Structure 1
Amino acid sequence: MIDILLGSLLLGWDTLIGYLSQHVITCLVPAFFIAGAIATFVKKDAILKYFSPETKKTVSYGIASISGTVLAVCSCTILPMFAGILKKGSGLGPAITFLVAGPAINILAIVYTAQVLGLDIGVARAVAAVGISILIGLIMMKLFPAHDTETKKTFGAARKAVMAQEATRPRWVVPLFFVMLVAILLVGTSALDAFIRLGIVYALSIGIALLLIYYFTRDEVTDWGMEIWDLTKKIFPILIIGTFALGVLSFFLPAEFFRPYFGETSLISTFLASVVGMILYIPTLLEVPVIGTTLGYLSGAMAKGPALSLLLTGPTISLPSLLVIYRLIGAKKTLVYTALVVGFATIAGFLFGIFFP
């Protein structure tokens, strides 16, 4: 009995050390900086400006589908944001698009997925999440038009006031700031020589420092640091504990156990993976070791199709989050929303597994 316990604990420790030693410094740390920056430097008035029913659809849905790229959230923690943007005048479609895409496409999750599970499934996750979120948002808007009609009446004047506001700094500053942050992430995870990587990262860091000194206030920089710390203390402990627990679980429930269910790509296996993702509550980033180790994607016990389906539904919906969504938008909208997420995730996983085996 003691040998079994020690064996499971050692496997949990090995799994944790393996994941963190390979991906924390070059992958997660820069991603935390990016996620903290978006929470600080992107103005909340952008909701009225870009998510309104009066905004051009290519703009509102496009921004909603990618805005979650730098939000480190999962299905439950995105709910207050979803409720907030609805209350501040967002159209139903862009809000739903944001709700679907946010957890599945945040920069932490995408980078971690590509680093651990492979570039192909990382890219597939990003592309599928954006496409699915836009489709679901458009369908929800068409099926429930009354929400947008009421929103236009309530927030029309507020949106005009926001549109009339002038920018407090040159428009190129914030985009360049994020480009430099992302460049540090990409260079840090690249295969370049270590000396070259260090030189490029150093130059980019100097550029970021100059932007912060000349174009951002002291309070903004302080808030950025606080956001980074807040994200770190919320996510990193869960990632450590969860990865260790998954390693222990894999000792008692090896990946081969799941091969009959997820070992091949079929409509049944991708649908099952989508439903499993819907039922489980998976904190952000933990879906990567769940799929890679517990379900055996890295060992070949899980096929690409079911893996992608689970990546799309696992962080996006869960039973706890659906109960909250029900209270926010009602039973009918919640039922349709759930069916659309599971259905599109099933199809996306199936197509990915068939065409990119």
Structure 2
Amino acid sequence: MTITDPYAIAAAFQAGTEALMEYLSAHVLTCLVPAFFIAGAIAALLDKETVLKYFGPTAPRWLSYCTAATSGTILAVCSCTILPMFAGIEKRGAGIGPATAFLFSGPAINLMAIILTARVLGLELGVARAVAAAGMAVVIGLVMASIFERSEGCPAGKYGTESNPLLPEDDPEQTECCRPKYLTPLFMAVLVAILLAATSSAFGLLPKTAIIAGLVTAAACIMKRYYLPEEREAFLAETGWLARRIFPLLAAGTFITGIISYYLPMEWIRDLFGSSSLLACFLASAIGSVLYMPTLLEVPIVGTLFGYSTGVTAPGPALALLLAGPSLSLPSMIVIWRVIGAKRASVYISLVVIISTLMGMLYGAIIS
């Protein structure tokens, strides 16, 4: 059966449709919707000075990169779910270095994935993944900053961006909004808790629904009681704008990924991953960067589909897959391209693939 065979085309189209339907059913409500609200809160409500303090181009490097590189430990998100949050802090004035370190670390270092890797694929590979991912986040951020660091004279202006209206905290004449400084971090924490509860497998459906309902009610009460109508409108407008900008690209990219997965010669690929050579690790990084690996599912994908658990895939390519796969996918690359531009996106994607390759080779050399 050839690629142009009508039956193959129909099967590939069906594979793309199934991938899209699976993504929509498994990730939209539990992952993307909470992520869009978090991103809207970052872009519309979070004090710009707070973002600049931890992620700004003039923030102390030890602070910004430590924060960015470790923030992923509490976020059980995939390469697509992290994108709205990345877009939010990037729009709010974060430096390109800390922002891309956060973009990589979010899906690459989440605590549940590291623990599952250690339990299913072995302690050595789990530790190697945690150490390599944290180091990669810092290195990628530093390289991106050295190449593309923003000019100090280009922060967002008083009137924000095309989607971000004037916020009360940016206007010195607006004195009505007098609330405790901890309210916005608390509101953000509640939104993050909703995301964590929705993606957790520690609860049954009924307890999970009750927890999420309680958290949503708490967030709504905080928003209604402590925020001005202008702020609420800005929050919802920013959330909707990010959803309209990002979601269609994710859906299209997921559909295309399903088609590509259908045509991938998996048996041939497994044969290539039998050693930790440069070619094997590079192919693993390149393939991982294109395939969509949902959070936690990268472990069975590497262990079963690519044969690491049965000894078919060597340790080097396995680590390269675990580094590049969760942090990138074809849908996420499309969105990253849109958010930060072709040049920055190309450099970021290249860094992920190249450094994942080198980390895989190094780990393979150490293990062997």
TM range (shorter): 0.5 to 0.7
Letter in 1 for 2:185: P
Find the counterpart in structure 1 of residue 121 from structure 2: none
How far apart, CA to CA, are the structure 1 residues paired with 2:364 and 2:226?
A: 47
* Residue 98 in structure 1 maps to residue 99 in structure 2: yes
Contact 1:36 1:227 in 2 (8 A): yes
Q: Does 1:38 align with 2:42?
A: yes
Provide TM-score, normalisation by structure 2.
0.62
Q: CA deviation at 1:224?
A: 1.9
Q: Is it true that 1:233 corresponds to 2:244 in the alignment?
A: yes
Deviation at 1:39, TM superposition (A): 1.7
Deviation at 1:287, TM superposition (A): 3.8
Report if aligned partners of 1:34, 1:182 keep a CA contact under 8 Å in 2: yes
Q: Deviations over 1:19-49 (max 9, x none)?
A: 3323322222222222222222223334554
Q: Distance in 1 between matches of 2:224 and 2:366?
A: 49
What amino acid maps onto 2:31 in structure 1?
C
1:203 aligns with 2:203: no
For 1:103, what is the secondary structure of its paired residue?
A: helix
Please state if 1:9 is matched with 2:6.
Answer: no
**Structure 1 position 212, deviation (Å):** 0.5
CA contact (8 A) 1:273 1:307 kept: yes
Contact 1:305-1:354 at 8 Å conserved across structures: no
Q: Secondary structure at the match of 1:270?
A: helix
Structure 2 counterparts to residues 233-312 of structure 1, below 5 A: 233-262=244-273, 268-274=279-285, 287-288=292-293, 297=302, 299-301=304-306, 304-311=318-325, 312=327
Q: Which amino acid aligns with 1:204?
A: L
Structure 2's unaligned 5+ residue stretches are: 119-125, 155-168, 309-317
The structure in which a higher percent of residues are helix is 1
Equivalent residue in structure 2 for 1:214, among 206, 225, 233? 225
Alpha-carbon deviations, 1:269-312, whole Å to 9, x = none? 334444677xx8x6xxx7437xx79xx64752275312124235
Give the Å deviation of 1:119: 4.8
What letter corresponds to residue 135 of structure 2 in structure 1? G
- Residues 308 and 349 of structure 1 are in contact (CA less than 8 Å); yes or no, is this contact kept in structure 2? no
Structure 2 CA distance for partners of 1:126 and 1:177, relative to 1, 3 Å: farther
CA distance in 2, matches of 1:326, 1:218: 36
Q: TM-score, normalised to structure 1's length? A: 0.64
Displacement of 1:216: 1.6
Partner of 1:8: helix, strand, or coil? helix
- Single out whichever of 261-270 and 20-29 deviates more from structure 2: 261-270
Counterpart of 1:324 in structure 2 is 343
- Going from structure 1 to structure 2, the CA distance change for 1:226 and 1:134 (only over 3 Å counts) comes to same
- Residue ranges of structure 1 left out of the alignment (5+ in a row): 156-161, 328-333
> 2: CA distance between counterparts of 1:135 and 1:118?
23
Q: Distance in 1 between matches of 2:115 and 2:25?
A: 17
> Separation in 1 of the partners of 2:96 and 2:199?
32
Instruction: Evaluate the alpha carbon distance shift between residue 194 and residue 230 of structure 1 in structure 2; reply closer, same or farther with a 3 A threshold.
Output: same
Letter of the 2:343 partner, please give it.
Answer: V
CA RMSD between the two structures:
5.1
Question: Within 1, Cα distance between the matches of 2:306 and 2:257?
Answer: 16
Q: Distance in 2 between matches of 1:241 and 1:316?
A: 12
Q: Which of 177, 189, 192 in structure 1 is aligned with 2:187?
A: 177
Contact 1:72 1:231 survives alignment (8 Å): no
Instruction: Give 2:162's aligned residue.
Output: none
Contact 1:313 1:345 in 2 (8 A): no
Q: What is the SS of the residue equivalent to 1:288?
A: coil
- Cα deviation for residue 66 of structure 1 reads 6.0
> Partner letter of residue 117 of structure 2?
D
Q: Is the 8 A contact 1:264 1:302 kept in 2?
A: no
Tell me how far apart the structure 2 counterparts of residues 244 and 340 of structure 1 sit (CA, whole Å).
25
Offset of 1:208 from its aligned partner? 0.8
Instruction: Name the counterpart of 1:330.
Output: none
Post-superposition Cα deviations, 1:150-170, rounded to whole Å, max 9, x if no partner, equal 96xx89xxxxxx9xx999532
* Partner amino acid, structure 2, of 1:41: L
Report the alpha carbon displacement of residue 211 of structure 1 after superposing the two structures with TM.
1.0
Offset of residue 264 of structure 1: 5.5
Q: CA, structure 1 residues 234+323, in 2 after alignment: closer, same or farther (shift >3 Å)?
A: closer
Tell me how many residue pairs correspond in the alignment: 312
Q: Which amino acid aligns with 1:104?
A: F
| 1:301 partner letter | F
Looking at structure 1, the residues matched to 136 and 83 of structure 2 have their Cα atoms a distance apart, in angstroms, of 18
Whether contact under 8 Å (1:104, 1:316) holds in the other structure is: no
2:198 is aligned to 188
Q: Contact conserved, 1:271 with 1:346, CA < 8 A, in 2? A: yes
Kept in 2: contact 1:64–1:95 (CA 8 A): no
